A and B are shown apart, each in its own frame.
Chain A
Amino acid sequence: MKLNLETLKRNKWRYLGFIFGFLFFVYPFAAIPRIIYFLQGSLAAPTLHSVCYRMTVEWMFTGRYWTTIIVQPIRLLALIAIVVAFFFGPLFCGWLCPIGSLTESLSRLTPRRLKIDFSGKVSLGAIRYGFFIGFLLPAILGMIGPATPVLGSCCAPEASSVAETLGIAGICCRYCAASSVQNIVDFLTGNFAALTYWHTGGIITMVFWLFIGGIFLFGGRGWCWVCPLGVLSNAVHYIGTKLGFTYKVKHDPTKCKDCGQCRGVCPSWAIKPAEKSVSIDRHACTVCKECVTACSSGALTYSRGHEDVKAS
């Protein structure tokens, strides 16, 4: 997958979505948090960090979320993204997310021979759900047992004795690509102090998100594998695809010419070769529709109806 005029024209609405993703969420624009803060009468400066989907997903599973949304309605955005993913697929991930869209765009500028590519050969579902359980486990263990105040916790001022004994901590803030994106944009827009402080977790995140999983990965979507909102969105999308009234990318094997064009443009490694055809991995598909627009035979469509299009 590379960037050329034809690709740009075919997917113009999606790439426009990338720009809107920045305008909606990243400071100095951050239109959506700005509107929410304005309606709340809050003086906080809206940034990509203030939306914080990682912390929000963690809180959904530890119970903190449902009390927090009353005072921080900005946390509803993650829930909206998940509900949308059930009915229409992970549209936020594929069309708006500034973190994924930035690295996907940069990856397109990198020559193919320099990029890591195991697309179609690995099960991203295994990696993503393995990560997700590992992401939630410390947070849930942090709720068991009597809570004691701890130093070092960003998301909550207390943790349980169990978490303390095991020596584990939540990872949502320590490895946060949203901070990296916002710091880089702040730096590029004149706030040179934004790159002053880098901690070990931030450096690890930067290397994986921007370089290994971004610029030098085919598709540039490596960070999505370890994004809790992305995993959760794909999990509900997978359930949604089993139902007829939801939207999904559908494949009609009777029209498929097995040209491999779709596999070559999928940034999420969601299309796998099958016998004289392809299969779509719902645990990875972000309904970006790159495959739909690239398919010259009309075998791939984005529509409602049941998952498998049977031969007529």
Chain B
Amino acid sequence: MPAFKITKATKIFSILFIGALCLTLGGSLYSAHLAKSEILHFWIFFPSGRGPPPTPIQINVNEQGSLKRILNPWTIALSTHWIINTDHQPHKVQLELVNCTIPVEWEVNAGFPWDPDTKTFTEPLDPGEGIPYLGIDWIIFVPENVRGQEVWYDGGLAVNDGDTGERLSFIPITIYGGWGLNLG
């Protein structure tokens, strides 16, 4: 049986392979760390009581990455690709940012008709269905008069029935902006 010999090329290959693997896994850990404070993605199941319960969203700007805090500190983004009707009947989905007094840009791209004035998907979403090809980004611009406050935004995203106005779900959202604040 021939003896296995580790050549220089094998060593270099192994070092590069393990280095690339570790760097990527490090990127994954960092990604998980940032995911809850930078362009946080969440899902929306409605109505409340059916499907997974809405998880309150708490964003602490102190947990953001250094590059973001240095280069782009005064914008916060939230995003969703998932709005799913878990009810037994169709609903027109109307979205509302409750208690929001700071400027927010809604960037909506979906395979479903959207009315930007009423913030409503104008066709009913069938039971068990999700809005296809959905991407909504809420870009929040933090005005100067708010930047010194400990809480930049305390409200939430309401999902209403576009026809009846009935509240179908509510996801609480709080943005903590006080530098050095530790939520534990």
| Residues of chain A at the chain B interface (Cβ within 8 Å) | 37, 40, 42-45, 47, 49-50, 71-72, 122-123, 125-131, 133-135, 137-138, 149, 151-154, 157-158, 167-171, 173-175, 193, 196-201, 203-204, 226
Contacts and interface: CB of A to CB of B under 8 A. Distances in A.
B77 A197 contact: yes
Nearest to B129: A71
Interface in B26-57: 27-36, 38-43, 52, 55, 57
Nearest to A148: B52
Contacts of B36: 151-152
Interface of B: 9, 12-25, 27-36, 38-43, 52, 55, 57, 64-68, 71-72, 75, 77, 79, 81-82, 105, 109-114, 132-133, 135, 137, 139
A130 B39 contact: no
Contact of B18 (A45, A130, A169, A175): A130
Given A43-B112, A203-B71, A168 B32 contact: yes
A197 B139 contact: yes
Chain A CB within 10 A, most for which of B22, B24, B65, B139: B24
A258 to B, nearest CB: 21
Contact of B38 (A71, A130, A153, A199): A199
B81 to A, nearest CB: 7
Given A130-B17, A153-B41, A193-B105, A170 B77 contact: no
A130 B19 contact: yes
A153 B43 CA distance: 9
A121 to B, nearest CB: 9
Nearest 5 Cβ contacts at the A-B interface = A134-B24, A130-B20, A200-B65, A152-B35, A42-B111
A126 B13 contact: yes
18 contacts: A49-B135, A71-B132, A126-B16, A130-B17, A130-B24, A131-B21, A131-B23, A134-B23, A134-B24, A134-B28, A151-B41, A152-B42, A170-B28, A197-B75, A200-B68, A201-B30, A201-B34, A203-B71
A158 B43 CA distance: 9
Contacts of A196: 75, 105, 139
A167 B32 contact: yes
A248 B10 CA distance: 26
Contacts of A137: 25, 28
B35 A151 contact: yes
Contacts of B55: 149, 151
Given A44-B110, A50-B133, A123 B13 contact: yes
